[in-house]
Every structure is written in C-alpha cells, then in structure tokens.
Amino acid sequence: MSGHAGHAAHAIAAVNDFVIKFANVNGSGSASANEMFAKAILRMGVPVSPRNIFPSNIQGLPTWYEVRVNERGWLGRRGGVDLMVAMNPQTWDADVKEIESGGYLFHDNSKPLPLSRLREDIRVIGMPLTAICNATYEDPRQRQLFKNIMYVGALSLLLGMDVGAIETLIAEQYRGKEKLLDANVRALHLGRDHAAGHLEPIGLQVRAADNVGERIFIDGNSAAALGCLYGGASVCAWYPITPSSSLAEAFQKYCQKYRVDPEGGGNRYAIIQAEDEIASIGILTGAGWNGARAFTATSGPGISLMNEFIGLAYFAEIPLTIIDVQRGGPSTGMPTRTQQSDVLACAYASHGDTKHVVLFPEDPSECFEFSAQALDLADRLQTPVFVLSDLDIGMNQRLCAPFTWDDAREYDRGKIMTAADLDAGRDFGRYKDVDGDGIPYRTYPGTHPERGAFFTRGTSRDPYARYSERGPDYVYNMERLLRKFDTAKALVPQPVPRQAARHAPFAAIHYGSTAPAMAEAIDVLEAQDLHLDTLRLRAFPFPESVRQFVLAHEQVFVVEQNRDAQLRTLLINEFDLDPARIVAVLHYDGTPITARFIAGEIRRRMLGANLQPRGEEEVA
C-alpha cells in the first residue's frame, strides 16, 4: 500500500455535501480534467459549483479548481476544503493547511514527502501518479497530461462516482479524435484500477440523485454573449481585458453560427477588436447614434478609459450597452480575482452630473436576460446601460435556470421619428420632452431629405438641438435627464424580496454574485433562530420600494464584495437615508464571498456583540 493514513480521529464522512479542491500548476492541462470531474457529478444529478482560482499568468504559477458538491443546491462558495488534491509542490504548505480537520489529502507520492510537513488530523492518500505515467507513456507531454485524467479516475473510484458518466463526457469532448478518446479512457481506468488495488476507502461519497433538473451549466460570459446575440446587438467593439475577453470571443463564436445570412449574403454582425477601450466605446457611440444595437465587454480599467465618452453618450443621449465583468481593483489590482468594486464608477461614470442605469445579474441566467434587456433599455432610454457582472459569475461555470425566449418578443427600439412622421408634419425637437417622461424623440441619420437632421454634440443645446449656453436651456436639459432617470426606475428589473419565516426587524440587501452565498447564509441563520428579510437588488436606479424596504427595518445589512461599501453609499446618497441604519458587511479579498462569512458576520452583529462596520479580521 502506497498511501499512508494519518491519525485522523474523526475522518469527515459526507454524502453529496463536501468541497474538493485541486491545486495545480497553470498550463499543466489540468483544467479540462477537473472540469470533467465536476460535470460527471452533475450528470449524476448532484449539484456542483466549481470555481477557478487562477493567476494572471499563462504557464507556471499556481492555479486551483475548487468544486463544491452540494445536494441541496447551495452554489455559493462554502469555505474550507474537505479533500485537497495537491498536485503543486509550490503551494504544498498552504494547501495542506487549508484542509478541514478530519479531511483528506490526495497527493502524488512518487517521491517521498517529509512527514514533518503533514498534519496529524488529516488523512493522507498517496498515489504514485508520476511513476505510473512514466512507466506507461514515452512522450513527456503525455506523461504530464494523463496524470490529470488518472487522478480523476482514482477519485471517481474513491468517491463512488459513475464511471459511465465520465466516459460519456470524454466521448463528447474527443468526438472525432478517436485516438485521444481511447487514450483518455485508458488513463481513467489506470487511475481507477490503481485506487481499487491500493487505496483505502474514504468517507466522502457521491450518490446519484435527481437535484439538477432542467438547469444548465454555463459561465456568465458565454451567457451574456448569448444575451447580446438574442437581444439583437449587431455591432460589438472591444479590447481584450481579463476577465471579460471570453465574452466578446463567445459573441464572435455565436455570431459565426447564428448570424450568417443563409443565402450567402454575408454577416449580420460586425465585431471590431479595437485599439483600446476608448475606441471601443467610440465605435459603440457611432453605431448607437446610427441606429444599430452595440455593446462592449470590459472590466474596471476599461471603464476608467471610457469615462469621457460615457459622459458624451449620457448628455447627447446615445444608446449603448457596456458589460463590465468586474475584477479586483484599483489599478491593475487583482486581474484574476473577483470583486464588486465598480458600482460607483459605473453608476456615476464621467465628469459633470451624471447617473447611469446599472443592472446586477446574479448568475449566468440573468447575464443572458439582462444583456438582452440592456439593449432594449438603452434604446428606450437613449442612454448608456451597464451590466455589472464579475469574475465569479463571468468565468466560472454555474448551474442556473435554462435560458428562455419568447418568439413573440420584439425589440424595443424606443422613440424613433420616421420619415413618415416627419412628412406628417410632426414637430421634431431632438431634446424636447414631448411625453413628459424625459425621453425625447430621435431620428436616424439619412431619414429624410429636408427634415429631421440635427447636429449631435457634447456641448449644451436647446430642445431643438441648437447650440446654447443659456442657463434656462441648460437647466431644462439637465432636469429632463433626471426625469428620464426617474422613468427608468419602472423599466429596469425590479428587486427580489424574500420574507423571513417570522417578523424580522433585521434585513439584508445584496446584489450580483453574492446571491447564492446569501441564500445559504440566511438558511444557516434561520437554523440558529436568527431571522432576516432580504432584498436582492437587480438594478440602479432603485425604485421607491427599496427605500420602503429599508425604512421598514431597524437595521439593514448591505452585503457586498468591495472595501468601501459602494452600494451602501449609493443607497444613502440616492434616498438620503440615515447611515446608522445601514450596516456594511464587506468581503473583498478577491475570493468569492462565502455563506460562512456572511452568516458569521451577520450573526455577530445581530447578537449585538459588535457593531463595527467591518469584520475581516476574523476570517482567514
């Protein structure tokens, strides 16, 4: 027997409820094997939520893949690791340290490890992966690659997984590449056979269930790209930036499949990889001005560069959609870690008095829906609309509700004045509030030979688009823009309330990728007889119901993933609320927020132990 057990008094035993983490070296080909492992569990009807924790690097630095298996369907990060697959010597110490007491360490024991570096309270499972691969394969690349699929094989046996599910996944992945397919299946079984002959059973088990249902498994960036495809975006301009690049690339892929004229007439889309984010948004501005639906995908630094244009698009009233997949800031910050730290930068982007529509999707399903909706809202409101995703949603596959589309759904192109309208003698004032909702009418360039032309500019103008620096003209326009923002309140996705089982003076507000961890935290707190109402915000501007929600509670926790409590600031600023009433619960170390953290922080505050606005220090 090559594995040697530690002296774990209480080895963790769990069925369909544990966390397994793979510690790998970036570029070693582990990603596809790890993904296959997670997907195989899904195919067994057991919900999983995997997360890539990766460096800003192509090859050599440490990377992790954390898979939470949870039959109840909690998809947030739990915190803690029950089984560590430690394949990276660089991070060995930290990885071993992270294992829960009673947990398991799986490692390659081809070379002996100093026992002094192990813990007494975990069980160690050693498998000579390198030795087996070196004995089996000649090619160094194969020796490396098949190590990954081999440990998947061994784990699948230890965890009692359905080998058929993995074989099917391998077959799907290597369809048409039979040689690779066979080699992978062989490596899988080499791993299983070794485990069967040499490794002791463990307390973690996967058992087939029926808890996945119709849900789909996709990353938020692909979902948002699909939303743009369905929402009718025909122009996309972008500049590569982590973690948003895969969104534009997915849009390209979908367009090549779904947007090519079947009669050979060409492409019904135009995608430009621009020279920078300034050009990206410039292209969007031109396209939006000219009546095409246009979007970009970017991240925080891109938003900073776009600021001047955002002000122009706001003031000149040009529809465009910006999908910001947030990462850790400021500056280059933590480009491969997650945060919700662009809230204020987007809500009030650009100089002068500005306010923008911002949507907060919670998962890939909403990334799809909100991206499509953003294109409608931009046209309806004639303004930039932001979709604020983040790395956690954008770059991780997430189990979520399937995408839906009603074929009767029409695009809302907003208030367009046509040649027929102009011929009928309708008065056209580009910046005139005709309907009282703050939204003016616009004409597309080229509409009519004699009427409807106007000069678009970033300078102040009168309701007929004539240059004017007269105070009353300027104020009329700025007030109208506010009125328009008010109109937006009823058009954006409304907040989702959840009432506690019993009357609760406490409440929590959250948004975006915090949702799954929040739902689990509330469940944990309820089990401890701590009750809270919650409100998940889905858009800015906030409708009046949000103010009512806050006022209906003595204390409201605003849970978010940034240092400065940005959404809290936005709430206080927009509703003129008493800051003492609103307590920030903040997690911003770059890892996705966990249910343990939220429940712990809120519990501490609810029990009156400590009403400090921040409490990072108690969390590892």
Partner 1 sequence: MTWITKPKLHHPTLPKNALCLTRRDYEGKISTLCAGCGHDSISAAIVQACWELSIEPHRVAKLSGIGCSSKTPDYFLGQSHGFNTVHGRMPSVLTGANLANRGLLYLGVSGDGDSASIGMGQFVHAMRRGVDMVYIVENNGVYGLTKGQFSATADQGSTSKRGVVNSDSPIDLVGLALQLGASYVARGFSGDKRQLVPLIKGAIGHRGPAFIDVISPCVAFNNHAGSTKSYEYVREHNDAVNRLDVMPPRAEIVVDYAEGESIEVVQHDGSSLRLHKLAADYDPRDRLGAANYVQQHQARGEVVTGLLYVDPAATDLHAHLGTIAAPLNTLGARELCPGKAALDRINAALR
Given the rule CB under 8 A, which of 19-27, 82-90, 256-264, 597-605 is the region that contacts partner 1? 256-264
Q: Which of 468, 494, 555, 569 binds partner 1 (CB under 8 A)?
A: 468
Nearest CA to 224 out of 111, 389, 15, 360 is that of 389
Could you say whether residue 232 binds partner 1 (CB under 8 A)? yes
Q: Judged by CB, which is closer to partner 1: 140, or 446?
A: 446
Could you say whether residue 86 binds partner 1 (CB under 8 A)? no
What tokens appear for 361 in the block? 């999707």
Among positions 190-219, residues that touch partner 1 (CB under 8 A) are: 212, 214-218
Contact letters (x/-) for partner 1, 322-361, by CB under 8 A?
----------------------------------------
Q: Which of 41, 83, 185, 312 binds partner 1 (CB under 8 A)?
A: 312
CB of 456 to partner 1, least distance (A): 4
CB of 332 to partner 1, least distance (A): 21
Could you say whether residue 448 binds partner 1 (CB under 8 A)? yes
Q: Which of 330, 332, 423, 467 binds partner 1 (CB under 8 A)?
A: 467
Characterize 44-56 residue by residue with b for buried, 16 or more Cβ atoms within 10 angstroms of its Cβ, and e for exposed: bbbbbbbbbbbee
The answer to whether 481 touches 450, Cβ cutoff 8 Å, is no
Contacts of 172 (CB under 8 A, 6+ apart): none
Question: φ, ψ for residue 585 (rounded to 5)?
Answer: -120, 110
Could you say whether residue 374 binds partner 1 (CB under 8 A)? no
Q: Judged by CB, which is closer to partner 1: 176, or 266?
A: 266
The answer to whether 50 touches 1, Cβ cutoff 8 Å, is no
Contacts of 107 (CB under 8 A, 6+ apart): 85, 86, 87, 113, 124, 125, 126, 127
What tokens appear for 10 in the block? 């209480």
Q: Judged by CB, which is closer to partner 1: 177, or 268?
A: 268
CB of 368 to partner 1, least distance (A): 9
CB of 440 to partner 1, least distance (A): 15
Could you say whether residue 423 binds partner 1 (CB under 8 A)? no
CB of 340 to partner 1, least distance (A): 26
What is the rounded CA–CA span in Å between residue 21 and residue 100?
A: 12
CB of 71 to partner 1, least distance (A): 18
Sort residue 546 into left (φ over 0), alpha (ψ -120 to 50) or beta. Answer: alpha
Q: Which of 267, 332, 528, 548 binds partner 1 (CB under 8 A)?
A: 267
Among positions 22-61, residues that touch partner 1 (CB under 8 A) are: 42
Residue with tokens 């507000």: 509
How many other CB atoms sit within 10 Å of the CB of residue 404? 9
Could you say whether residue 238 binds partner 1 (CB under 8 A)? no
Q: Which of 118, 270, 478, 530 binds partner 1 (CB under 8 A)?
A: 270
Could you say whether residue 285 binds partner 1 (CB under 8 A)? yes
What is the rounded CA–CA span in Å between residue 313 and residue 317?
A: 5
Could you say whether residue 234 binds partner 1 (CB under 8 A)? yes
Residue with tokens 């987007």: 346
Could you say whether residue 447 binds partner 1 (CB under 8 A)? yes
The answer to whether 587 touches 596, Cβ cutoff 8 Å, is no
Among positions 385-414, residues that touch partner 1 (CB under 8 A) are: 402-407, 409-411
Q: Judged by CB, which is closer to partner 1: 24, or 296?
A: 296
The answer to whether 344 touches 569, Cβ cutoff 8 Å, is yes
Could you say whether residue 449 binds partner 1 (CB under 8 A)? yes
Q: Which of 60, 258, 551, 618 binds partner 1 (CB under 8 A)?
A: 258
CB of 488 to partner 1, least distance (A): 23
What SS3 class is residue 52?
strand
Q: Which of 211, 456, 487, 569 binds partner 1 (CB under 8 A)?
A: 456
What does the H/E/C string look like for 460-521?
Answer: CECCCCCECCCHHHHHHHHHHHHHHHHHHHHHCCCCEEECCCCCCCEEEEEEHHHHHHHHHH
Whole-Å CA distances, 90 to 62, 108, 368:
7, 14, 38
Could you say whether residue 308 binds partner 1 (CB under 8 A)? yes
Start-to-end C-alpha separation, the chain: 36
Whole-Å CA distances, 150 to 33, 130, 142:
9, 10, 11
Q: Judged by CB, which is closer to partner 1: 131, or 270?
A: 270
Whether omega before 541 lies within 30 degrees of 0, making that bond cis, reads yes
Could you say whether residue 528 binds partner 1 (CB under 8 A)? no
Q: Which of 4, 186, 207, 259 binds partner 1 (CB under 8 A)?
A: 259
Q: Judged by CB, which is closer to partner 1: 313, or 439?
A: 313
Q: Are strands 384-390 and 496-498 parallel, antiparallel or unpaired?
A: unpaired
What is the rounded CA–CA span in Å between residue 444 and residue 414?
A: 12
What is the rounded CA–CA span in Å between residue 99 and residue 8?
A: 12
Q: Which of 282, 301, 361, 495 binds partner 1 (CB under 8 A)?
A: 282
CB of 417 to partner 1, least distance (A): 13
Could you say whether residue 284 binds partner 1 (CB under 8 A)? yes
